[in-house]
Structure formats: C-alpha cells, structure tokens
Structure 1
Amino acid sequence: MDATYLMNSLWVMMGAILVIFMLGGFIMLEAGSTRMKNAGHIAGKTIFTFGSASLVFWAVGFGFIFGDNANFLVGLSNFFYSGSELDGMGLSSSVFFVFQLAFAGIAITIALGGFAERAKLSVYLIFTVLFSAIVYPVVAHWIWGGGWLAEHGKQDFAGSTVVHLTGAMAALAATILLKPRIGKFNKDGTANNIYGHNQVYTALGVLILWVGWFGFNAGSTLTVEDGFFGFVALNTNLAAGAGAVSALIISWMVMGKSDVPTMLNGALAGLVAITASCAFVDTWAAVVIGLVAGILVFYSVRFFEKRKIDDPIFALSVHGAAGVWGTLSTGFFATPELAAVGKPGLFYGGGFEQLGVQFMGVAVSGLYAFAVSFIILAAAKKVVGGLRVTEEEEIMGLDLSEHGSYGYPEVFMADENKRLSS
C-alpha cells in the first residue's frame, strides 16, 4: 500500500465529508427560505431522507451505477456492498463508496425541495426510496458508470446533469402534482411573495454549500497527483463569485433594488453550472459560465412563477436551469488540453459534435428523471391517499401537524398562551 493510495483515500474521504456537510447547508437554506412553522419539519426530513437514501444506495444504488455485467440501463453487481476492494481504483473502494453515497444524498435533497411546506412525510419516504433506487442510479450509470452516454463522450465532471438536473426534474414533477401552496397565487394568476423567515439562515446555508462544493468538484478528481484538484477548486470559486455578482446586478437593474435572495441564488447557480465543466475549461470561461448562470437564474425564477409553478427553494432554477446551462457550456468552452472526456468545444475548433452530445445527455437524462419521478408520485398518491397534507394541516404548519412539536416552541407557545389568555 503506497503513499499515493493513502493520500488519494484521505483526500476523497475529506471530499465526502464536505459533500455530506452540504446537507447542513441545505437545512439552513431551505428552512430560512420557508416559513417558521415548517422549519423543524424541513430540518428533520433532511436527516431522515439522507438516512433512507444511504440504505438504498448501499443495497442497490451503488451496484446499479458501478456494477459489472451491465445492461442498457444499469450495472448488475456489488449490491449490498461489503467494502471489498474494486479493481483499478487507486484509492480505498470503501472511501469511493462513501463519496458516491454523498452525491446520491445531495440529489434526493434537491428533489425534495419541490415538496416543501405541503407534502406528507410518508410521501417523502416512498419517493426517497424509489428515487434512490431507480432514478438517480440510472442516470449516474449512463454518464459515470460506463453507460451509453459515457460511450458517446458525455462531459459531466461532478454532476450538473447527474446530480443537479436529475434532482431538479424530480422536483418539477413534485411541484406539478402537489400544486401551489395556499396563498401563493391569486385568482387572476398573479403571484404573492411567501417570504422565508430568516435570510441570515439562507445566507449561511449558501456559504456552507459554497465551501462544501470544493469537496463536490475538487474531490471528484479522486487523486492528489499533479495537484489538479487545485485548478478545479479555482474554477469552482470563480464561477460562484461571478454568479453572485451578476445576479445581484441584474436584480438591481430590473427591480431597482439589489435583492438578497436573488444574489444568493446566483452564487448557487454559478456553482451548479461549473460543476459539469470545472475540469474541462479555462479560468476565463469559468467566470463567463458563472456570469451567465447568475443572470439565467433571475429570469428562470420569473419564468416558472408566471406559469404558476410554486418552487419554494428555487430548485428548478438554481439546479435545473443552471444545470442545463452548465452541462451545455462544455460544448462551447472545453479545451483540447483539458477535455480528458469527449472532445473540445465549439470555441476551440471542436465543431458542434460535443455540444450535440451534451444536449442529448441533458434531454434524455432530464426526461427520464421527470417521467419516472412523475410515475412514482402518481402511484404514491393512490397508495397513501394523496400527496398533500390537508388545508388545515398546511395552515397549521408541518412542524405541528406531522411531528407534534414546533421547531420554534417558544415563539409559537407564547402566541398560543397569548390567544388563550385574551
């Protein structure tokens, strides 16, 4: 066992820890972006669903992605993974498993953003199990596990398609079937702002995610040799910064005020967009990718709202629209020197071939994730007698209706005591 093997294992284990800690960022982001009466529920379901996804990934997910004897859809070995060493890894296979498990956990967390403030807890469980078994692993196998999109040279270094677009398309299926939250839209179709209860939580969540993204992207090098992970981290940070700046400026220009949630979404959009291309593009292109992502997320949020799609944490725009742009961006900006997978982009003499492969990957993966997620939720609706809590429970808040306790007991109990004493 040489030093490089040990260093690679340590580096990827550190990356896995950072990615798992991103769940803390999602807790803060989602709780801060929604109402106080649902904060405890959002925090709790994130832990609960990650635990469920971990067991499913161990049982079948890992095998479907990276197993041998693959068919058109999935691999067919390494189920109930025992920790055995896999061939040609260059690091501990158990560490590689934990790293990949972390990505699966992020994908389901993104998907469940579309359920926020109105879905039954039982629906979270059913969807988590099936998404982690037959949605995420299939797309991941196609692109990362040696599947048919990998054979075509699909470029997605750390998951703009595999993780972010897949999760966002599942969230879209959920928002359509669950329908908008009470009070989101008026009869004439105009939208009301349902403000999150704590912008400080939201900003802290974004910062945690930003830091965690270094595990997400730089960790995906899977090695410390030649220090290339530093270049990936550099591109990641540049894109995030550019996304934050462009989103703030466009909101200022259009709205007359520099909107804080838009700026935060811009940073995340830059991170999502660079996730596919961080190892394939020069630094100037990373800045351009982030700048476009920040502007795109601003207009994407308004696009979905005009179509009466209620997306409380903006998963469709941050992870969906930016995920599409990030995946396509390698078809423009991938350089001959860095394109270890696929071919150079349009701006580097590669023509439209790689852009076509990227577009095909986005279309097929997105359609698969949406269609199967929609079917799962439609079936779950019949099994549990509806996806959504009752109107009374939604107004009451999911903290109390689903869990019997408040995330902020002092605040709500004080209000209740005041009401009873009046």
Structure 2
Amino acid sequence: MDAGVFTANNVWMMICTGLVFFMHLGFSFLEIGLTRQKNTVNILFKNVFIICVGLLLYYIGGFNLMYPGFENGDSGFLKFAGFGLSIAENGLTPDYANGGYTYWTDFLFQAMFAATAATIVSGAVAERIKLGSFMVFTLIYIGLVYPIVGAWKWGGGWLDNIGFYDFAGSTLVHSVGGWGALISIYLLGPRVGKFDENGKSNAIPGHNLPFAAAGVLILWLGWFGFNGGSVLSADPAATSLVLVTTSLAAAAGGVSAFITSSVMYKNYDLTMFLNGILGGLVGITAGADQMSPNEAVIIGIIAGVVIVLGVALIEKIKLDDPVGAVAVHLICGIWGTLAVGIFGAMASLDQFLIQLAGVAAAAAFCSVTAFVTLYAVKKLSGIRVSELEEIEGLDLHEHGMDAYADFRMNQH
C-alpha cells in the first residue's frame, strides 16, 4: 500500500475518533437540556465520569475482551487476550488492519464507542439514581457487558460467524445501552410527580431546550465520525455514501417525528423533532454502508414514527425516561438492525432472521446482566436517592453546588 494512502486512512480515522469523542458533549447538552436545572451538575459529573472510566477500562481489559483473537474451535462467545495494550509487531504498518489505521488509532477509536453505551443509560436514569450506584453499574457495563457483546460480531465471534451484520452499532452500541436503560428505569421507578394517583402521566419539562437542540446537532455532527469512521479507512466511495445515508436518515427521522407528533398531539413539539433526528441516526447505523439514499430516507421516516409511538408506549406502561433514551436507542436500534434484512444490498428473509437472532441475543444477555448488576446494588446499598434529595435536587445533596450560581437565590 502507498504510504500516502496509509497516512490518509489513519488521519481520517483519527478525525473520526475526535468526532465520536465530541458526541459526549452532545449527550451532555441533550441530557441537561431535557431535565431540570437542579440536577445539572449531577448529569455532567456522570458524563465526565463515563468518558474517563470508559477509556481506562477499555485500556485495562475491554479492548482485549472485545478483540480477543477468536480461533477455529473457540465458542465465539467469550475469550480474553490479556490485560493492557500490547502492540502487534505490524501495529504501525500498512500490514495492520488492511492499511486502514494503526494499532493505537484502532484502540482509541473503539474506546470512544465503549463509553457511549453507558452514556445512553445516564439519560434514562437522570434525576433520581444514586451517583455511587450508577458508577458501579458503569464499571460493569463498560468493562464487561459491552465488550463481550461487541466481540460476538466485531471481534469475530459467533454472531459474525452466522452472518449477523451491524455496520456501526445499532445493536452493538445503541441497543446494548438501550437494554441497560430499560432495565434501569424499571428497577428505579418514576420520578416524584411523573404519574398521578390515577396513573396519568404528567410532563416534567426540561429547563433548557436550546441546550437540548445544541446537543442533538452536535450528535449529528459526531455521527459523521461514528458511521464514517466505521468504514475503517478513508475510502472515498464508501465514506461519502455513508455520510449521505446517515444525513438523509437523520433528516427524514426528524421530519417524520414532528409530523407524527403534530397529528397526534396538535402541536409542534421540538423535543419530538430532536429525538426523531436521533432515531433516524440510530436506525441507519446498522446498515449505513448498505443502503441507497432512497432506502435511507425510508428507514428514517419509519424511525421517526417509531420514536413518537415508542415514547407514548414507555409512558403508557408507567416507565419514566426523561430523555427518551429507550425509544431512541433501543427501539430504533432494533428497527435499524432488522432493516438490514429488509433493505439494501443484504435484504433477504434469511438475513432478516439472522438479524432477529442478533437482536434477541443482545436483549437476553444485556437485560440479564443489567438486572443482576442493578438488583444486587439495590439490595446492598440502594439505587435511588431519598424523596427529599430528589425534590431538592441532586446537585445540592450529592455535590454541594449548583450549575448556575444564582439558582438557589432565585428560588426563594
């Protein structure tokens, strides 16, 4: 391979790594924007914790758990290549990863993905989970659950062997986080005041919709790295197609969600519009390299409808998800994964059934591990703050500070 091509590939992958890192700011803005200001510091603390601990856990063992080097005769389910980073002999040459990037870039790009799974959970459990309990959950989920599921496909494990396809993580990232979020909000229960005595849902508005909008636009930009980097090189044809399908699905998801919510609720709901964009992005992520522009738009349109119906379903079954994480990342993640068997270059009944098997496997493993982890923490130390702490805000009780210096003064 020409040295210039190798360098260009590696530089593109490093740029994509930076874009995926930037997504954590988007998640932070989205979460604080859609929740109340008395919990802003708490949410920011969790997001910063996830990035730092995620990187360290992936360095300590996650990378080698996710890419263990499965061989013939292995189960393809679980293998561990050892602690720490041990650069391959060809790790800095074009012989590594087909000349797409170096070993170091490989680690860092994949590490950015690892933290995302726990960030998804962070938004769903906002405003009532104990910080210490969330930290314990994050350690288990990033350190063990995410890399094990990732190894099944991206590490050459059993899902890869049966032909399961997930280009950039509709299941392996977003549904993994989504299942964790669903189990978490089930065990936590709703926020104080979310449902009245008759079970009717009450809106708890976020305190800063400009932050939420900024967060979604940052996430959209970051997705250029999330999906664009998953080409694993700077191949001009592949990367340009992926960015087009990604953007069209996002736009279609947003428009579809705002139209659907307008018809159902007779208003123009910005939060539905924003989550529709995210739903389109999650939906296209499994097959962004396999779809035509027309198919990307269809996937986005369906994702937008799914978002509105998904949010309504979550509230109907009396679960409280402040940011819509389950509808966006879990339900649209499932839709995007199945769409690979319906649309694009891989469409067939056999492929659809393989995709369905992958969804079911992730659902079973992630749900069980999330439940066992959180239930154990719940029994040992509790996972929910007291009612007084929740009402007065986690910033005051868990951090002793306010995100906005004059907040308490203006309350009185």
Q: Which TM bucket (shorter chain)? A: over 0.9
Are the equivalent residues in 2 in contact too, given 1:180–1:309 (CA < 8 A)? yes
Question: How far apart are 1:382 and its partner, in Å?
Answer: 2.5
Q: Which residue of 2 aligns with 1:11?
A: 12
**Cα distance in 1 between the residues matched to 2:83 and 2:12:** 25
Which of 312, 317, 323 is matched with 1:313 structurally? 323
The 5 Å alignment of 1:317-328 reads: 317-328=327-338
- Structure 2 residue identity aligned to 1:6: T
Percent identity between matched residues is: 41
Q: Which residue of 1 aligns with 2:136?
A: 126
Q: Which residue of 2 aligns with 1:340?
A: none
**Cα distance in 1 between the residues matched to 2:379 and 2:83:** 30
Deviations 1:362-383 (Å, cap 9, x if unpaired)? 1111221111011011111233
Q: Which residue of 1 aligns with 2:358?
A: 361
Deviations 1:62-120 (Å, cap 9, x if unpaired)? 11110125644233215311444546312111001100000001111012222210011
1:234 matched to 2:244? The reply is yes
Q: Which residue of 2 aligns with 1:339?
A: none
Question: How far apart are 1:226 and its partner, in Å?
Answer: 4.1
Count how many residue pairs are aligned between Structure 1 and Structure 2.
402
**Cα distance in 2 between the residues matched to 1:235 and 1:79:** 38
RMSD over aligned CA atoms reads 1.3
Secondary structure, in 3 states, of the residue corresponding to 2:145?
Answer: helix
1:74 matched to 2:78? The reply is yes
Question: How far apart are 1:414 and its partner, in Å?
Answer: 3.6
Are the equivalent residues in 1 in contact too, given 2:35–2:322 (CA < 8 A)? yes
**Unpaired runs of at least 5, structure 1:** 336-343
**Cα distance in 2 between the residues matched to 1:256 and 1:276:** 33
Secondary structure, in 3 states, of the residue corresponding to 2:322?
Answer: coil
1:196 matched to 2:233? The reply is no
**Cα distance in 1 between the residues matched to 2:340 and 2:136:** 35
Deviations 1:153-177 (Å, cap 9, x if unpaired)? 1111000000000000000111011
Q: Which residue of 1 aligns with 2:394?
A: 398
Are the equivalent residues in 2 in contact too, given 1:52–1:125 (CA < 8 A)? no
Q: Which residue of 1 aligns with 2:344?
A: 334
Deviations 1:288-314 (Å, cap 9, x if unpaired)? 000000011000000010100001111
**Cα distance in 1 between the residues matched to 2:331 and 2:382:** 29
- Structure 1 residue identity aligned to 2:77: L
Greater mean alpha carbon deviation, residues 264-273 or residues 122-131: 122-131
Question: How far apart are 1:146 and its partner, in Å?
Answer: 0.3
**Cα distance in 2 between the residues matched to 1:60 and 1:413:** 47
Are the equivalent residues in 2 in contact too, given 1:40–1:406 (CA < 8 A)? yes
Which of 305, 321, 324 is matched with 1:295 structurally? 305
**Unpaired runs of at least 5, structure 2:** none
**Cα distance in 1 between the residues matched to 2:350 and 2:23:** 35
Q: Which residue of 2 aligns with 1:175?
A: 185
1:88 matched to 2:92? The reply is no
**Cα distance in 2 between the residues matched to 1:312 and 1:82:** 41
**Cα distance in 2 between the residues matched to 1:198 and 1:117:** 15
Question: How far apart are 1:276 and its partner, in Å?
Answer: 0.3
Deviations 1:155-210 (Å, cap 9, x if unpaired)? 11000000000000000111011111000011111110011001111000000000
**Cα distance in 1 between the residues matched to 2:320 and 2:410:** 31
Secondary structure, in 3 states, of the residue corresponding to 1:331?
Answer: coil
Q: Which residue of 2 aligns with 1:409?
A: 405
- Structure 1 residue identity aligned to 2:122: L
Q: Which residue of 2 aligns with 1:278?
A: 288
Secondary structure, in 3 states, of the residue corresponding to 2:320?
Answer: coil
Given the two structures, how large is their TM-score scaled by the length of structure 2?
0.95
Are the equivalent residues in 2 in contact too, given 1:243–1:266 (CA < 8 A)? yes
Question: How far apart are 1:247 and its partner, in Å?
Answer: 0.6
- Structure 2 residue identity aligned to 1:32: G
Are the equivalent residues in 2 in contact too, given 1:73–1:142 (CA < 8 A)? yes
